[in-house]
Amino acid sequence: MSKACIFLAEGFEEIEALTVVDFLRRAEIEISMVSVTGDKKVKGSHQITVLADILFEEANFEDADILILPGGMPGTTNLTKHEGLDKLLREFHKKNKNIAAICAAPSVLGSKGLLAGKRATCYPGFESKLTGSITADQDVVVDGNIITSKGPGTAMDFSLALISKLVGKDTAKRIADGGIYRHFN
């Protein structure tokens, strides 16, 4: 079974985080909501409090297949500042393991030099923060082990791209065709 981790910081974008969790669980991908705040209760950018599955300090990431960063403000800024997450992202990048980010969160990867030479997209206006990337004006961009997406309106497409990457396009199509999302190709 594929395993994913999505990181929640104060001010995360709720649509981006919870759509991913919902879709991946429907696809029977084990996904853990990981709090980087030191508290399992994490408040999103629209004042919705979510109970994370585990604290960053308690988690074991060795068998994770993908790390996922939702956007939102100041969630993205808080993810950028987290030293443990910084180290983990760099380790995954070095091993060419999957990393995904949506909305403003691709800027986290850009600030760490993890997008060098990769095609990437982000929330409009954040393109200059994708240091070293080849910016693409697309809803979702998959370039090798890096998956990026524009924002809340692309959360379903982003989630389906993650499912395709982890367990195949047939599963993504089954989830989309199950009445959830009729525009997936």
As for how many domains the chain has, the answer is 1
pLDDT at 181 over 80: no
Mean pLDDT of 154-163: 97
Residue 182 placed within a domain? no
pLDDT tens-digit map of 55-88: 999 999 999 999 999 999 999 999 999 999 999 9
The residue range of the domain holding 158 is: 3-174
Q: Which residue among 29, 103, 130, 141 is the active-site one?
A: 103
Determine, yes or no, domain membership for 184. Answer: no
Structural domain contains residue 83: yes
Q: What residues contact 162, with CB distance under 8 A and at least 6 apart?
A: 4, 20, 23, 24, 66, 68, 100, 147
Write the CATH number for 127.
3.40.50.880
Is 179 inside any structural domain? no
Q: Please give the structure tokens belonging to residue 13.
A: 């974008």
User: Using one digit for the tens of pLDDT, what is the confidence trace for 30-51?
Assistant: 999 999 999 999 999 999 999 9
Tell me how far apart the terminal alpha carbons of the chain are, to the nearest angstrom. Answer: 24
Domain for residue 181, yes or no? no
Which pLDDT score is estimated for 182?
A: 58
The mean of the pLDDT values for the chain is 95
- Kindly state the average pLDDT of the residues 93-122: 97
Whether 113 is in a domain gets the answer yes
Give the pLDDT mean for 120-142: 96
Give me the mean pLDDT over the 164-181 stretch. Answer: 88
Q: Residue 185 above 60 pLDDT?
A: no
- pLDDT for position 151: 95
Q: pLDDT band for position 178 (50/70/90)?
A: confident
Residue 185 lies in a domain: no
- Is 103 labeled as catalytic in the residue annotation? yes
Tokens for 156?
């379903």
Q: Residue 164 falls within a domain, yes or no?
A: yes
Spatial distance between the Cα atoms of 115 and 49, rounded to a whole number of angstroms: 31
Average pLDDT of the residues in 91-113: 98
Q: How far apart are CA 69 and CA 76, in angstroms?
A: 8
Banded model confidence at residue 119, pLDDT cuts 50, 70, 90? very high
